[in-house]
Structure 1
Amino acid sequence: MPEPPSHTPQPPGPLPHLQGREALPHIYIDEKKRGIVSWIMIIFLSITVLSIPIGVYLVSKRTNILPQAANEAPQLLESINLETDNNNLSDGAVFPVRVNVRSDAMEANLFAVLLKFPPQNLEVVKVATDSGLITKWVELDFDNLTGTAKLTGAVPNPGLKTSNNQTFTIATLFFRAKGSAKTAITLDYAAIYRNSDNQNILKDKKDLGLNINFSAASTPAPPLIEKPNLNSNISALIQTPSGGEVYSYYKALSISWNPTNISQVTNLNLYLNGGLYASLGKSLENTGRVLWQPSSNLPLQLITSQNIFQLELQGIDKSKRTFSDLSGPFGFSAGTDFVSVSSSAAVLNESQKSLDFISKLFSNYNLPQLKNPEVDLNQDRSANDLDLFLLRRAL
């Protein structure tokens, strides 16, 4: 029996298009499977490639993924605003109006406002300045006939600086509402003066709108602090010191007063920085003059430019009524010469009356060495209450 043909596979012959050429040997490649590291690299490269267009888009849109408030700097403000508890008032109601100030960016030493209000609808009952922020008041006045109120207060060097969004009340005016009307209290003028260079830095001011009617709840009037009634109406009795002088500590001081309407002088008192310090005499003869030796009552350590003195004369007038009269402020020097009030201080010119000049005075207030000698109105080489008194007298 013939053997069946062999089925042993034979290597394929050259392809037709390769016939006549040397056949290449067949190479068998055993492809390895990709490991986990290779897959991680592929995924990483894919993410990187895909993130490029996304990044380009975000940059082109300038997208900020942080909260907007986190990038906003706190707003610094120098402002004066008027504020009350209730803008709806009844006829006859007494209500407070607070004068609020801010000086966030820098120290300020002078705050000035001129308020205007309709006198037919509003009247000022009193002004309270017990906040303690303003230590020196240059002007504090109101006129219910013209409907105006003027407040100029100072905080001597280094001045006052507020924190962000913090306001201070420098004064509170109590008004009484009259009639029925929609009205307003306006800041006709307002200024905040910087302590460093005495420039007005006010950026914002806010008036106060009010609605007076007959249906709003009435606000009780606050208790008024009246000046003590001393019965007598005589005043301006003390002639020397008149205010602003600087006397020698070592020389006797001649104190004089007008004796015309006085029946009896009961007390002569010495005040130091606004408080009673000592009695200089009791039951004095009404001669109109007495000599006093400062060194007999005052220790030498009190003789500084920061200490301000006043005299008080008390007694009974010819109508048997009691009186009290306070002199202008004066000072003492450890020198032997009397320092008189300068002639230029008696009548200040208009530039000296300006607010920037007043701000300069308080930038130099009680400094050991004056930066601006022009504010030394009585030429005692110091800017203090004596100069403030002369300034008030000239305004």
Structure 2
Amino acid sequence: MTSPRVGIFGLFGSGNVGNDGSLEAVLDHLRAAHPDAVVDALCGGPETVTARYGIPATRLHWYRGEYRTASRLKDIAGKGLGKLVDAFRIAAWVRRHDVVVVPGTGILESTLPLRPWGLPYSLFLLCGWGRVLRARVALVAVGASETGSRPVRVLTRWAARLAAYRSYRDTLSRDAMRAMGVDTTDDQVHTDLVFALPTPPRGDLSGPPGPVCVGIMDFHGSNDERDRARELNSRYLDGITRFVGALAAEGRPVRLLTGDDVDRPVAEAIIEAVDSPMVTAAATASLGDLMKEMTVADAVVATRYHNLVCALKVGTPALAVSYAAKSDRLMADMGVGAYCHSAREIDADRLLEQFRELERNRSRVRRILSERNVVLVGRVRQQFAALSALLPVSAPAPAPAGQETP
């Protein structure tokens, strides 16, 4: 039989557990529904992806200093040469596949700082070469947002237009792409792929009170707020620290959760500032680890989007410290839209009030989340059915020369 050749593209293995969770969800589906598929990845951290998920992986960028600020002439020249080399490397990689999947993540977003010649440029090359080389590029349940950066906008728009298939994790994302000039008439909205991951069993709700999980973030605003980055970061860190300190002063155990390697210094800064044995940081390397922490928690207060997804998925009452509209929409879709607080205008006293209201209503919130999760499981199944339809049907391999096919 000729096996379908599937490539997976994204910033996987680079320290962001949300991105890796999307990869894991797609791999689980391919292994269950298409065990004959030959799968590999073009990603940010190939060594990590191969070690953790057991698939061959290629480094996304030829120049290893891609995400470091280029201040010296040597670095600038290296980045420039890297862009040229990557154009040919990506073409060679795409050529080897029948379908290239870009699974979940905010691949079309600018809710966090990014440069046009980084991921937007690579995605444009991927989709462009897919069209030229007749490899179907599928943007599967992705997140998207509008941007004020013209280069990012142009690259994102053309990448989306050149893709053979597009679906989104929420209506906000589809609306954003439509606003940027992409015809979304045939594009579907499903939900985040992470809702397909296994859910760990819940802790004993009748036992002693559990900790409060606080998901923190190295927050500096969006790509369009670079001029306010320092101010936003300082305000966020101060507000979250005061909130954690207030919980610790009440004798509440607090577990700090991260979603990216860059968040760890934030956790360390909060622990140092609060200086209480009630505050500890969890060592988490995957969304599965995060969900295990959350199943024994009384409540979750989360900033990163996929920390929030994990809390909602395991049914633990959650409060979103929202840095983007996607978090507000997710909470509204889950029936708990009242429990949102702006990361940009964080107010520790108001956050405490919302947290206490959440705790008073925890039983009702748990019921709502349980009902909504049933719906989302169905949406994920629909998404994976659509993905399966994109893969070529395995065909019998050609018979060796001189041998008849029965």
Q: Could you say which structure has the higher strand fraction?
A: 1
Q: Which structure is larger by alpha-carbon Rg, 1 or 2?
A: 1
Normalising by structure 1, report the TM-score: 0.25
Normalising by structure 2, report the TM-score: 0.24
